Structure 1
C-alpha cells in the first residue's frame, strides 16, 4: 500500500478525500491542528472504511515540528495539501493570519518534500484565482486576475510557489481549482462542520432549517444575474474527493504532461443563491426564513467551471446532483443535532 500524507485531513474536504483514498487502497497519514475540525471526524472515517488512518495533531506553522514529523514518518509517496484558512470574509478582516497560515505552511512542506525526495504533490487550489471572470464557463486558460480577497491571493501565490518549485526540482504537482463543495458522505458519518458562524451557504442553510440560526442572510440581490443573487458551481464533496484520488494516481503513474498541471473541478453548471434555497426547500420540505442583506466584500458575481480538461485528461466527471448534495447535507445536519 502506498503511503499518502493528507494535511488538513480531518477537515471537510480532507476527510472525504481520506475515505476515498482508503477505499482505493492507499495507506493514509493525516496531519491536522484541529483549528477548524474535530477529532470525532477520525471516528467517522474509521466507521466508513473500517480502518483508522494514522493521525498526528500538528500545526504546520511550526517548522521544527514539521521537520520532526517527516523524520518519523518514512516512505511517504505523495502529499495532498488541504491545510489552510479558507473564509473569504475572514481573510479580508485578518489578512496576516491568512498569509502566515496559507503560505508559510506550504513552504515548510515543500522543503521537507525536497529533503525526503517526495515528488508527488496535489494542491487544494480554488476558482478564486480567476477573480471576476471575463467569460463563462471558466477554462483553465482564463487569466489569473488580481485577487478579490487575501484568501484568493494566497491561492495564487501558492500556485506560483509550486510552479517555481517544480521548475527547479523533481517535484511533480497538480493544482485542483475547485468550485463550491457542498453535501456530506451518504452515511452521514462525516460532513461539513463549521466552527462558529458558517462562512458558506449550505451549512448556513442547514443550520437555519435546524433552528440553530434564526435567519439566513442572502448577500445582495442586485447582481447582474437572472435573479440578482450570486451564481456558483456547487459540487458534491464526494465527487470532489474522488478527483483528488484520480489526480494522485495520475502523478504516481507518471501520466502527467508537465511538472505542474491545473484542473478545474466543478460540475460545469452555475446555480444562484436563490436557486439553491429553492432546491433545498423542495428536497427537504423545510421552508427557510431568509433575508436579503448588503453585498459581502470579496464576492464575485458569477463563477462556474468548464470541466472539459478534467473530464478528458483525468477521466473524472462530477456524477452527483445538487439535489443529492443538499439532501446529504440535511441528513448530516440532522445527525449532528441529534448528537448534541
Structure 2
C-alpha cells in the first residue's frame, strides 16, 4: 500500500483529498501547522472513511521535522497543499507569502531529494493565468500574475520545471484549479476559516446563517453579464478526486504535466448569491463595494486535457456545491 504525504492536509482542499485517498486504499500522512486549519478536521476524515491516518503538527519550513517524517514513514509521493492562499492578504503582506509558500516548498523539495522521493503533485492555481486573454482558459495560455499570491504559485511552477529539467527521474504534476467551494456530502467536513472568511462561499453561508450581516460584493462594474466577477466554481470533492486521478496517473507519467481542474462553466458573484438564496430559502443581503486590488473580471477553465489524460471530469453542479456548503454550515454554524 502506497504511503502519501499530504502537506496542509488539515486545510480545506487537503482534508477532502485525504478522504478520497483513504477511500481509494492509500496510507495517508499529514503535516500541517494549523495556522489556517483545524485539527478537528482529522476526526471528521476518520469518521467519514472509517480509517485512520498519521498526523504531524509542524511547518514545512522545519527541515528537521520533514527529515524525521521521511525517515519514519517511507513516503512514496507528496501532494503539496501547504501555503497561504488569500489574494487580498497577499497584497498586504507579500513577504509572508514568499517566505511561507516559496521558501517552504524549497525546503520540502530538498528533503524529498535527500530521501529519493521524487513524485509530487503541486497545488497550483488559476491565478497564474493573470487576467486571461481567452476563456475558457487552456493549459498553454499565456501566464502572468496580478498579485503576490499568484506570483508565488507561478514562481513555484517555474522552480518545479527547472527541477524536472535538471533531473528527469522526477515525476511532477502541476494542478491549476479554479474556485473550490462546497463541502463533503456528509456535512461533517467543509471549509472552516479561523477568522472572517477570505473566500466567497463561506462568507455567503455565514451571512445566510446570521454570523455576518451582509455579503461584500467587490465591484459591479466589470465587463460581465451583471457587472460582478465571473469564476469557475468547482466542488471540493471533484477537486479531491482530481488529485486522486493525478496521483494514479503519476506512476506512468513520463514528463512534467500541467492540468486545469475546473468545470468549464463560469458563474458571477450575484448568480452564486442567488443560487445560495434558493438553497437556504430566503434572500441573502449584500452590499456592493469598490473593486478589490488584484481581482479580474472573468476566469473559467478548459478542463479537456484532464478529462482526456486523467479520465477525470467534474461531476457536481453549482446547486450541489451550494447545497453541500449549506448542510456543512448548518451542522457547524461557527466552523470547527
Q: What is the TM-score of this pair, normalised by structure 1?
A: 0.97
Q: CA deviation at 1:52?
A: 1.6
Which of 290, 294, 299 is equivalent to 2:290? 294
Following the alignment from structure 1 to structure 2, what is the Cα–Cα distance between the partners of residues 290 and 144? 33
Give 2:99's aligned residue.
100
The 1-side partners of 2:111 and 2:164 are apart by 14
Residues 32 and 82 in structure 2, CA contact (< 8 A), matched pair in contact too: yes
Q: Note the alpha carbon deviations across 1:266-313, whole angstroms, 9 max, x for none.
A: 000000000001111112213101000000011011000001101111
Mapping for residues 71-82 of structure 1, pairs under 5 Å: 71-73=71-73, 75-82=74-81
Match for residue 38 of structure 2?
38
Separation in 2, partners of 1:139, 1:243: 17
Name stretches of at least 5 consecutive residues in structure 2 with no aligned partner: none
Post-superposition shift, 1:81?
Answer: 0.2
Residues 329 and 335 in structure 2, CA contact (< 8 A), matched pair in contact too:
no
Match of 1:249 in 2: 248
Within-5 A mapping of 1:1-340:
1-73=1-73, 75-145=74-144, 147-169=145-167, 170-252=169-251, 254=252, 256-258=253-255, 260-337=256-333
Q: Cα RMSD over matched residues?
A: 1.1
Give the count of matched residue pairs. Answer: 335
User: Structure 2 length as normaliser, TM-score?
Assistant: 0.98
Structure 1 spans left out of the alignment, 5+ residues: none
Question: 1:338, CA displacement in angstroms?
Answer: 7.8
**In structure 2, distance between residues paired with 1:231 and 1:266:** 13
Shift of 1:57: 0.2
Q: Secondary structure at the match of 1:76?
A: coil
Q: Distance in 2 between matches of 1:143 and 1:201?
A: 26
